[in-house]
Amino acid sequence: MGALTPQVFAAEVARLSGPGFGPDAPVALAVSGGADSLALMALAADAFGPNAHVLSVDHGLRAEAAAECTMVAGLAQALGLPHRTLTISVATGGDMQARARAARYAAMGDWCRANGISRLLTAHHADDQAETLLMRLARGSGLAGLSGIRPLAGIEGLSVLRPLLGRRRGELAAIVAGRGWVPADDPSNRDSRFDRTAARQLLKGARWLNPGRLAASAAHLAEAEAALAWAAERAFATRSDRRGPNLWLDPEGLPAELRRRLLADGLLAFGHRADGPALARLLARLEAGGTGTLGPVQAGVKNGRWRLRPARPRR
C-alpha cells in the first residue's frame, strides 16, 4: 500500500461512494479532536476543500469535551472548512460507550439530513479493526460480527464511509504531527473497564498479534459473509412459498448456516428480526420436528418443510 496522500484519500472516498460522486459533492466528517480524526480532517481539507463539513459532538460526559470541540473548530477554520459542534446528552451507567456511539451517529445523521448531505466520513483504521475482531472473538460472534467494521455502512439513513480502514494508527498520527497539531487526549481510551482498551493493550503486548494482519483477516471474513448473504438471498427466493397466511420454507439439503439464514429471512418476512440465541433455539426445535413461537411468528414442520404463520394473540 502506497503513501496516504490527499489524492489517494479522495480516490478511496470516490470508490466507496460509487457512481455519481463528484469532487464537488459535499461530505461530512466526524472529528472528535483525537489524532485519527484530525488526520481525516487534514486529508479531507486537501482533497475536498470547503465541501468537507466538520462535525464535532460534545456528549457532556467529560469537562474537557467542550474545549476539544473548540480546538477542532479553530483548526477547521484555519483550513477553510465549515464546522459545527453538536451537543447531546448521554446518561451514565450501563454500556455507556455503546449508547454514546448511537447518540453520536443519531445527532450527526439529523444534521446531515437537515443540510442535504448523504455521506459521513469517519476515521476508523486498521488498528480499530484489529481491536474489534479480538473483542468479537471473545464474545463468540458469528461470521457477520467477525467481519468487523465495514468500509461502507448505512447508519441513521446515512452512507457512512471509512476510507482509512486499511491504514495504521501510526501513519495517521504522523500526518497530525507533520501539521504541528496536538491532538486531544481522551482518558477513556485507557480505561480498563472497556473491552476495547483491553484489546488495545493485548495488541501492544503481544508481538505475534499483528494488527494489520488481523484487519486483513476481518476483510476476508467480510468477503465470506457477503458470499453467504448472496447465497442466502437466492435460497430464500427459490425455497420459500407464500400461501395465504402461511410461509413455507424448504431447508432440505442446505448447509447448516444457510438453514439458519433461511429461517431468519422467513421471520423477517413477518417483520421480526430475531437475535442469535433466540433464532438458534427455534431452529433446533424445527430440526427436531417440533414447533415454536418467536415474536409474532409461530413455526412448525410438515413433510420436511417449515411452516411459518402469524402467532395466535395471547389471551
Residue 139 has pLDDT above 70, yes or no: yes
> If pLDDT is split at 50, 70 and 90, which confidence band does 94 have?
low
Here the cell at position 14 is 470516490
Write out pLDDT tens, residues 51-84: 999 999 987 767 788 899 999 999 999 999 999 9
Task: List, in sequence order, every residue forming a beta bridge with 152; answer none if it has no partner.
Answer: 161
Q: Where are the alpha helices (DSSP H) in the chain?
A: 6-17, 35-48, 65-79, 96-114, 126-138, 143-146, 169-179, 195-205, 211-239, 256-268, 276-287
Coil vs helix vs strand at 285: helix
Distance, CA of 115 to CA of 93 (rounded, Å): 33
pLDDT > 90: what percent of the chain?
A: 77
Here the cell at position 282 is 427455534
Longest dimension (CA), the chain: 71
Distance, CA of 127 to CA of 158 (rounded, Å): 24
**Burial class of residue 38 (count of CB atoms within 10 Å of its CB; 0-12, 13-18, 19+):** buried
Write out pLDDT tens, residues 254-269: 999 999 999 999 999 9
The number of C-alpha atoms within 13 Å of 313 and in the hemisphere containing its C-beta is 1
Residue 86 main-chain phi, psi, to 5 deg: -105, 125
Q: Are strands 246-249 and 292-294 parallel, antiparallel or unpaired?
A: unpaired
Return the closest-CA partner of residue 68 out of 58, 77, 80: 58
pLDDT at 119: 96
> If pLDDT is split at 50, 70 and 90, which confidence band does 190 have?
low
Distance, CA of 9 to CA of 40 (rounded, Å): 9
pLDDT at 178: 96
> If pLDDT is split at 50, 70 and 90, which confidence band does 287 have?
very high
Here the cell at position 53 is 463539513
- The answer to pTM > 0.95 is no
pLDDT at 116: 94
DSSP string of 214-253, one letter each residue: HHHHHHHHHHHHHHHHHHHHHHHHHHEEEETTEEEE--TT
Angle, helices 169-179/35-48, rounded to nearest 10 degrees:
70
pLDDT at 188: 66
> If pLDDT is split at 50, 70 and 90, which confidence band does 285 have?
very high
Write out pLDDT tens, residues 151-187: 999 987 889 999 999 999 999 999 999 999 999 986 6
pLDDT at 117: 95
pLDDT at 153: 94
Residue 315 has pLDDT above 70, yes or no: no
> If pLDDT is split at 50, 70 and 90, which confidence band does 217 have?
very high
User: Measured between alpha carbons, how far is residue 117 from residues 21, 28, 110, 184 in Å?
Assistant: 12, 7, 10, 27
Here the cell at position 163 is 476510507
pLDDT at 185: 80
> How far is C-alpha 176 from the geometric centre of its chain's CA atoms?
25
Residue 101 has pLDDT above 70, yes or no: yes
Measured torsion, CA atoms of residues 4, 34, 40, 171, in degrees rounded to the nearest 10 = 0
Higher per-residue pLDDT: 231 or 206: 231
> If pLDDT is split at 50, 70 and 90, which confidence band does 198 have?
confident
